[in-house]
A and B are shown apart, each in its own frame.
Chain A
Amino acid sequence: MVDRSIYWKGALLAILLFIASIGIGYYVEVVKYQEVLANLNELNLEIDSSSTILLFSQALPNVSAANECKAIVSGLDPLGSQVELLRESLEEGKGNVFLNYENLRGMYFLTNLKLFLLTERYKKVCGPKDTILFFYKFYTDCPRCAVQGRILDTVKAKCGNNVYIFAFPLDVDKPSVLNVLKNYYGATDAPILVVNDKKLEGVQSAQTIYKYLKTCKAS
């Protein structure tokens, strides 16, 4: 006689394995999430630290601007690569099944914006520094943005810390301050570059980008 309990036993085992695999998948995502969050907090700490340096000259007498700038730039330079690593982690998070990185992304973009504004402030106080703003699409498939990203990678590889690149998504509205940035530069379609205040729409070659850089040239 056939023991029909095999059917519910089979279904039960499948559900158990299914739940177990979901649990493990969830755990992997949580670990990754915590890692990204920790890196983000560390980054914010560094940015706040660099911002505070600028307050010294305003608050205290006899503070040398040259020393201040030296201190800021020594903090800013490593931040660029940290931001890039974080961006990559958040990109990977797009394939997440359980955890939504929306808040984390919001925090990241805010941090990135703070870093951009700090760099602009640095430029005013301390002198020239090349900055590139890169508007791309995060949620919508954007092959042209991927190509532009590769070109910017080559520019960064050549120019190193002479050029700061800040990437912001056009299809993300949180935090709302991103919209202020987008409206300020009139960014509507990706990819868009703003190289030292010069707005360039569509995919730009490395040669075109070098034309607008002050501290780093093609040859």
Chain B
Amino acid sequence: MNTLPIISLKRKKKSRWDNDFGHPLLGIVVFLAFVLLFWWAIDNVGYFWVMLVPNFLLLVLTFIFLIAYLSLPMKKNKPLKEYPSMSVIVPAYNASKTIGKAIDAIKASRYPGELEIIVVDDGSKDETYKITKEKGVKVIRHERNLGKASALNNGILAAKGELVACIDSDTYISKDALRLSAEEFDEKTAAVTVLIKVHEPETLIERLQELEYAVGFGLYALVGKWLNIIFVTPGPMTVFKRKILIDVGLFDVDNVTEDLEIAWRLREKGYKIGYALDAVVYTEVPPTWRALLKQRLRWYRGKLLNIRRYKHMLFNPKYEDFGMFMLPFTFTAELMGITLTSLLFIFLVKQGLWFFTATQATLAAHAPFAISTFTISGISALVMAFFLILPLLFVAYVSRVLTAKKFDFGDFIIALLTAFVYSVFTSFAYFLSFFQEISGVSYKW
């Protein structure tokens, strides 16, 4: 059994309505207000122009990232004369299916410095502890589940390395990921993120996430490093300076997205977050839409929660591009998600009412059946949409080439599906997270 100390990091109990807004009734009122507002806008301005506002913002952001990418100074880091000691912390909860492979990947690392591996078994009820012990690595065992942040914190406190690499138990690192991450640090850098790829994507939902990760953890992260706007230190793998992590108070055990919160806290304290494009890790992703929605609700609600906590950074020139660009960008994403989903909702309701009445009349008059619809956009709107979608496809292309060195017809189809189908899903997740947050639905880890 473990001989390492376990600090008491217990999550505060949340009541159902324990949030800044208070009552679920408010959520319903706000929801109805949104629907009425958009309904009014559609009737008076038209679907097209209402849709255009968030899409124009998206276009501006897309071009900024593309131009920034094309302006990037490309330089490779040189190998270090001496590599700092590194501790790998793997928090694990019921991870028997993946933990063995994750540890094997870490053990196979080519890290030139001193390396220790610590697995924190966070009260698993499966074979996680047994498998980990068999792998011969250091294990801290929680008697009961304390949450990922607590597991990470205990691992960090027990670690001896100058750097700590926090790696998810379902993530498999490439041989040079640790070394390349270590090379990315400079004096001001507190954390280094890496290129996260989807592990062996096969199904449609995995391919869609593969492209999403290529954009988010590939192109956008690379540009984010240059602009110093990286806003998350992702759970699959991020390397931190141990001392700085302890100085800022470790991970927040009361946060649903502790990886987002620690990044914002580090930025608040004036530290930089780096990125190593060539440091590749492969992670398992939600295999079903239901599991994906659950994950995204947690992510997006975490973002909302932290936006409120760090609102003093928003539009604050002290935090440079992070406060003036990145945080407003995340707000815009929320706004777009809520707007687009509201429009879709209204469209479906209107279409449903239309279809119901038309069917009634068809049956009564023995008329021939046909799918009737009302007009929402004309040919010119479709032509415009085609042109406006081009930069998004270009982002998909650049991201895939950057992260996978290829872009074939299958990738093109996935990019189209991302633009037209997956975006609806993520918009819905934003929408739902917003109203869950307002109505105070309790958090689920």
A contact residues vs B (CB 8 Å cutoff): 2-4, 6-7, 9-11, 13-14, 17-18, 20-22, 24-26, 28-29, 32, 91-98, 141, 143-144, 146-148, 150-151, 154, 203-207
- Measured CB to CB, the residues of B under 8 A from A are 46, 48-49, 56, 59-68, 71, 226-228, 321, 325, 350, 354-355, 357-358, 361-362, 364-368, 370, 372, 374-381, 383-384, 387-388, 390-391
Whether the Cβ atoms of B366 and A6 lie closer than 8 Å is no
Q: Which of the residues B361, B375, B380 comes within 8 Å of A143, measured between beta carbons?
A: B361
When the two chains form their complex, are residues B354 and A143 in contact, meaning their CB atoms are under 8 A apart?
Answer: yes
Q: Let me know if B384 and A10 touch, CB within 8 A.
A: no
Q: How far is the CB of B129 from chain A (nearest CB, A)?
A: 47
Asked whether, in the complex, the Cβ of B357 is within 8 Å of the Cβ of A18, the reply is: no
Give the residues in chain B near A203, CB-CB below 8 Å: 361, 364-365, 367
* B358 cross-chain contacts in A, Cβ below 8 A: 143-144, 146-147
Question: What residue of chain A has the Cβ atom nearest to residue B380's Cβ?
Answer: A25
Q: Are A7 and B325 in contact (CB under 8 A)?
A: yes
Residues of chain B lying within 8 A (CB to CB) of residue A150:
362, 367-368, 370
Query: Which residue in B62, B71, B350, B381 is a CB contact (below 8 Å) of A6?
Result: B71
* Prevailing SS type, chain B contact patch: helix
- 12 extra interface residue pairs, beta carbon distance < 8 Å, beyond A9-B63, A10-B62, A97-B377: A2-B228, A10-B64, A10-B67, A14-B56, A17-B63, A17-B387, A17-B388, A20-B387, A28-B380, A97-B378, A143-B354, A150-B367
Interface residues of A: mostly helix, strand, loop or mixed?
helix
Please pick, from B63, B355, B365, B370, the residue contacting A13 in the complex, using a CB distance under 8 A.
B63
CB distance from B256 to the nearest CB of A (A): 31
List of B residues within 8 angstroms of A21 by Cβ: 383-384, 387-388
Query: In the bound complex, how far is the Cα of B376 from the Cα of A92, in angstroms?
Result: 10
Contacts A24-B384, A143-B357; A6 near B370 (Cβ below 8 A): no
With a cutoff of 8 Å between Cβ atoms, the chain B residues found around residue A22 in the complex are: 384
Asked whether, in the complex, the Cβ of B372 is within 8 Å of the Cβ of A146, the reply is yes
Question: Which residues of A lie under 8 Å from residue B59 when comparing CB positions?
Answer: 14, 17-18
**If A24-B384, A96-B378 touch, does A147 touch B67 (CB 8 Å cutoff)?**
no
B228 in contact with A95 (CB, 8 Å): no
Known: A141-B374, A205-B365. A11 touches B60 (CB 8 A): yes
4 tightest A-B CB contacts, nearest first: A95-B378, A10-B64, A25-B380, A143-B358
Most chain B CB atoms below 10 A, which of A21, A32, A91, A207: A21
A9 to B62, CA, bound (A): 11
Given contacts A14-B56, A203-B365, contact A29 B357 (CB under 8 A): no
| A98 nearest CB across to chain B (Å) | 7
Which B residue sits closest to A4, measured CB to CB? B321
Q: Contact check, A95 vs B388: say whether CB atoms are below 8 A apart.
A: no
Query: Are A91 and B378 within 8 A (Cβ)?
Result: no
In the bound complex, what is the Cα–Cα distance between A7 and B229 (angstroms)?
A: 14
A94 nearest CB neighbor, chain B only: B375
